[in-house]
Copies of this chain bind each other. A is one copy, B any other.
């Protein structure tokens, strides 16, 4: 199946929305993810249905077909492998790699992704802690929990980040939080669900619920 860059971005968005939100995937949701007008999404949905990459109805929303799923998964795999490459080989920092990988993920050539995988020695997780599906599409197992689900006094280690937003990643860097950082929950504020955290037994910071919902820990 031949897919354009735009099509691939929509498929990826639908794939990721299916994984995170359990809701029905409707145009508005996709529009926000792809950063595009809802009317454009409706057009693209028609195109993807025509190409049998998704199914769509107002009731069921957009759902990937097997082919669509396969393509989306390959893009995700490619994206995450390139992120590993950028950090481990080119020495990019955590917060810069996403935008570059968004371009690299669309490079097409038989075996390219597999050769990259092999060159990187088959990593299981990308620098954000997200799992990298293998050649067959299988994900490595991992038991991630949200920082926001822990109770007061709990100590944990950051293993992943659920957000690709550059501002968020920059904010994390500024706070000195990255994969492996140890965090202790000091307080939970019932009023606005904000949390007080101690980072690496040193600085104490306060973060929002939204923040705590975007960090995976173990």
Contact = CB atoms under 8 A, between A and B. Distances in A.
Interface of A: 89-92, 96, 99-100, 103-104, 107-109, 112, 115-116, 119
Contact of A92 (B90, B96, B115): B115
Q: Which are the 9 A-B pairs with shortest beta-carbon distances?
A: A90-B115, A100-B109, A103-B107, A89-B119, A90-B119, A104-B107, A90-B116, A100-B112, A91-B115
Contacts of A103: 107-109
A107 B100 contact: yes
A100 to B, nearest CB: 5
Indicate how many identical chains form the complex: 2
Contacts of A90: 112, 115-116, 119
B89 A99 contact: no
6 contacts: A90-B112, A90-B119, A91-B119, A96-B109, A100-B107, A104-B107
Contacts of A89: 119
A139 to B, nearest CB: 24
B99 A109 contact: yes
A103 B104 CA distance: 9
Interface centre among A92, A96, A100, A107 (most CB of B within 10 A): A107
A9 to B, nearest CB: 16
Contacts of A96: 109
Nearest to A91: B115
A104 B104 CA distance: 7
Contacts of A92: 115
A43 B14 CA distance: 37
A59 to B, nearest CB: 39
A109 B93 CA distance: 13
A119 B90 CA distance: 6
A91 B103 CA distance: 22
